[in-house]
A and B are shown apart, each in its own frame.
Chain A
């Protein structure tokens, strides 16, 4: 077996050193009834070539996003990632290291995390950020639970513009934690209904911008209303590239910002691994979940970095921890940070502008064929087409993946005629032309 270095001779010698006759003697504490003597009914070992063949076959059964016109967004976005990013994250020292609990020999990972935290704080316009969560949806749930610790209130109001998977995840996890979740009905301009729901029991309001229908909203008024009531405003963003163009959550009064960071540095990966971003006002830092990296000095007085404020975490605080999170998305954070280093201020602004430009092109092309529902958008729009799910299926025959029917996210919202389409820098004018032609054909317009 190519991954197992011990030879039969080694094994015999080592058993001798230990002083047992055979390997079974080392498993003697396992109850006899539970010892499997025969091999499991599964295939035997396979060489690289054979494994490559099997997985290659499975991969070939799928239609990659890049294989033709493609317009899916709704929480995951196809962007171009520079080749150097993948090279760096495959460095052994990053790929095959553990959580940096021994800072003297983990300064590489730690300095990256410090850079990551700084970038996330800058993007969101807030003072502190943690070293990543699993993804945007779980970060959202954690932020809601964090608001309960800060305000000692139990009610969370989720805007109808919040991604339904985020709402469901938050409902599951925060409800389990003892919170009362008020989930507002999905609607294109859902933010208007949020302010009316805030009351003196509200711990937080959760608003997404751009929202799941692509609508960009200035949440300043919601922030004011929340703060008057003593509640926190949590702003969710599922498309991190939008930070390059739009007002940041911090600038609009958010207390906590959470985001899906997949768009920067990370592939679509059929849903994971992704990377949750979580940032907050400085005064909330001790209520934050997850790891934090901080600056300090070593015994020679040289600047270095360590994991800090770890008494919030499960390995010290146990049942009183702010969260149970341990493993996070370290390597995805590295990819995010490297990609954002390559982009820089100028590059991210250009990338964001380019995304918005492509979406305007898409919107202009669709105007007149279908009703465009999103008034103000970044790189994603909602349009009205009868039975959107069927339209998407039909356009597959034309080689086009025409976006995400809203009913896939929430079949019970009564929005079966809403189709979500995203355009990014990877979308070409030819892609848009193909979509328009196919839609015209299918809709008979």
Chain B
């Protein structure tokens, strides 16, 4: 069998609690033990008032539902309390540094939220006449101009709804280009071992086989291995730059040259664009396609897992294959080309209904305009400076995975420094929670044992970085001094102790199931 040796422990470690004081009600001070909506509300309760309907549904006959839905409602005050109480169990950027490597958890400017809520953007229907949405199309066009200028690429497809969706869009462009050139037999994709999981998943999704490229001892693509694996059946390489070890691919121009020489395209995973925005243009590096996570580099909020946006910039060779819709300057002003026929016949298709994540476009554009070309350059510089500072300070106790030379926007450590302490990367991360910080990315990239990937971002002050590094150094000393309980049972002070993921996966319980007392009678008394 194939086996991963990097899996982390997943059962809760039952350890002694700190202090031994528990409340009588299950709460923890101001943190309430909050039941589920379905246990709080009732089928006959609502937080919304409506006029009565004037016409009934008799015209629909037996198409009308014959069973209750099984929903639970709350009044407005109860709703506020329920969700505000739940919110308090979350960590957030607005509370403290959120050092998830590869995720770019930076401050989300509130101006952008305000702009996205202007009725002239938020209250626009995607299919209303284009003459009534010229300002929206103008904003998309300006955003496209910024993205193209910052990346040095001639075209951009705006519609992809997240990074992985952008990867899919980029690979579909590449596939369409190969097929148009009679090279449909190119079906192999080369991906470095350190790649994000979405890269091989996306390549497999479009029916390509995936082959890994080896990494050198200093954390870069192994050029000789790449050269050996390139061949007439290779469609593309997918390389993240800066890569997932937080390092710039020094030989990127040579990587591009070898790739193009072999007739393949260079797909760049742009997840780490934050490190180079305003300073380096991927177009100058020989990239053919790259997605840009607007929710990373251009700070649209992560929102607990989305929504994001993943526009893809394209080289001249790939641009004709971009999916519908896109914007053109027509005689009546700006127009969306929504059909992949006639003059747009080379377009490979459509990534989604409508024209993409407009709400994210507004936020990202406001972010770009606020920073300007000078501010964006400063973003990259401060992101890289902060990461190198953290790397320098933490190296006093922890083992940097690549000690020689600078890192880019994130600092990668291995767990070598935890050898013989009995503490694992996971334990260490959970102890960080007790100190008020979100853990770093753990066990990724897969090429470094017990990896800890720290991305502070540019929106952290020196004071917060010092506070963070101070906490980690103190924890590191405690681990080395044998204070194992502090780690094995951690977190002690979080809203929850360690959760049993094995139980969750063995006996999946994915929904709350109603009992008779909580379900509306049929038919509803209210009707």
Binary interface encoding of chain A residues 233-273 relative to chain B, with 1 for a CB under 8 A from any of its CBs, else 0: 00000000001111110010000000010000001111111
Instruction: Give Cα A314–Cα B199 distance, bound, in whole angstroms.
Output: 9
User: Who on chain A is nearest to B293 by CB?
Assistant: A327
Question: Which of B81-89, B222-230, B414-422 lies at the binding interface?
Answer: B81-89
Chain B residues near A89: list those with CB within 8 A: 303
Q: How far is the CB of B402 from chain A (nearest CB, A)?
A: 11
Q: A84-B76, A115-B36 in contact; A66/B119 too (CB < 8 A)? A: yes
Q: Is the CB of A324 within 8 A of B133?
A: no
> Which of A165-173, A189-197, A224-232, A437-445 forms contacts with chain B?
A165-173
| A132 located at the interface, meaning its Cβ lies under 8 Å from any Cβ of chain B in the complex | yes
19 A-B pairs within 8 Å (CB atoms) are namely: A7-B462, A10-B461, A52-B111, A96-B302, A111-B86, A115-B512, A127-B511, A132-B306, A134-B162, A166-B353, A272-B126, A272-B352, A275-B307, A294-B509, A321-B201, A324-B205, A357-B53, A357-B56, A376-B63
In the complex, chain A residues 100-145 whose Cβ is within 8 Å of any chain B Cβ: 100, 102-109, 111-112, 114-115, 117-119, 121-123, 125, 127-129, 131-132, 134-138
**Which B residues are in CB contact (< 8 Å) with A344?**
41-47, 71-74
Complex contact A104–B430 (CB within 8 A)? yes
Contact with B along A343-360 (1 / 0, CB 8 A): 111111111011011001
CA distance A302 to B362 in the complex (A): 42
A36–B281 CB distance below 8 A: yes
Question: Contacts A31-B285, A88-B83, A308-B508 given; 11 further ones with Cβ under 8 A?
Answer: A4-B382, A40-B278, A62-B124, A78-B123, A93-B89, A93-B90, A95-B303, A103-B496, A119-B71, A353-B56, A412-B341
Indicate with 1 or 0, residue by residue over A35-67, a CB within 8 angstroms of chain B CB atoms.
110011111111110111011111111111111
Residue A306 at the chain B interface, CB threshold 8 Å? yes
Q: Which of A31, A61, A267, A318 touches B253 (beta carbons < 8 Å)?
A: A31
A401, CB-defined interface residue at 8 Å = yes
* A417 part of interface (Cβ distance < 8 Å): no
Which B residues touch A217, using CB under 8 A? 63
Residue B345 at the chain A interface, CB threshold 8 Å: no
Q: Decide yes or no: A114 and B359 within 8 Å by CB, A94-B304, A245-B57, A271-B126 being known contacts.
A: no
B70 close to chain A: CB less than 8 A:
yes
Judge whether B108 and A96 touch: CB under 8 Å.
yes
CB contacts (< 8 Å) of B118 on chain A: these are 55-56, 59
Rounded to whole angstroms, the CA-CA distance of A128 and B520 in the bound complex is 21
Known: A246-B65, A344-B43. A23 touches B438 (CB 8 A): no
Interface pair B55/A360, CB less than 8 Å apart: yes
Does B302 lie within 8 Å of A78, measured CB to CB?
A: no
Of A245, A291, A314, the contact of B198 (CB 8 Å cutoff): A314
A65 touching B459, Cβ below 8 Å: no
Give every chain A residue within 8 A of B114 (Cβ-Cβ).
Answer: 52
**Interface residues in B106-136 (C-beta closer than 8 Å to A):** 107-109, 111, 113-115, 117-129, 131-136
CA distance A98 to B69 in the complex (A): 31
Q: Is the CB of B86 within 8 A of A327?
A: no
| A128–B509 alpha-carbon span in the complex (Å) | 9
Query: Which of these, A63, A169, A313, contacts B132 with CB under 8 Å?
Result: A63
**How many residues from B make CB contacts under 8 Å with A?**
218
Write out, one digit per residue, whether chain B residues 500-526 have a CB within 8 A of any chain A CB (1) or not (0): 110111001111100000001000101
- Please give, as numbers and ranges, the residues of chain A lying within 8 Å of B284 by CB-CB distance: 33-34, 36
B288 within 8 A of A: no
For A, the interface residue count at a CB cutoff of 8 angstroms equals 207
A177/B352 in contact, CB under 8 A: no
**Contact among B163, B197, B302 with A315 in the assembled complex (CB-CB below 8 Å):** B197
Tell whether, in the assembled complex, residue A95 and residue B301 are in contact, meaning their CB atoms are under 8 Å apart.
yes
- When distances are taken between beta carbons in the complex, the residues of chain A under 8 Å from B45 are 344, 346
Question: In this assembly, does B100 line the interface, its C-beta being within 8 Å of a C-beta of chain A?
Answer: yes
Q: Which residues of B contact A357 (CB under 8 A)?
A: 53-56
Surface stretch bound by A, among B259-267, B312-320, B386-394, B470-478:
B386-394
A30 close to B280 (CB less than 8 A): yes
Given A296-B501, A346-B44, A52 and B115 touching (CB < 8 A)?
A: yes
Q: Is the CB of A107 within 8 A of B120?
A: no
Q: Which of A92, A251, A267 meets B66, CB within 8 Å? A: A251
Inter-subunit contact A34/B285 (CB<8 Å): yes
Name the contact of A59 in the complex, choosing from B82, B88, B135 (C-beta under 8 A).
B135
Chain A residues closer than 8 Å to B352, beta-carbon distance: 134-135, 137-138, 165, 169, 272
Cross-chain contact of A330 among B133, B278, B303, B527 (Cβ < 8 A): B303
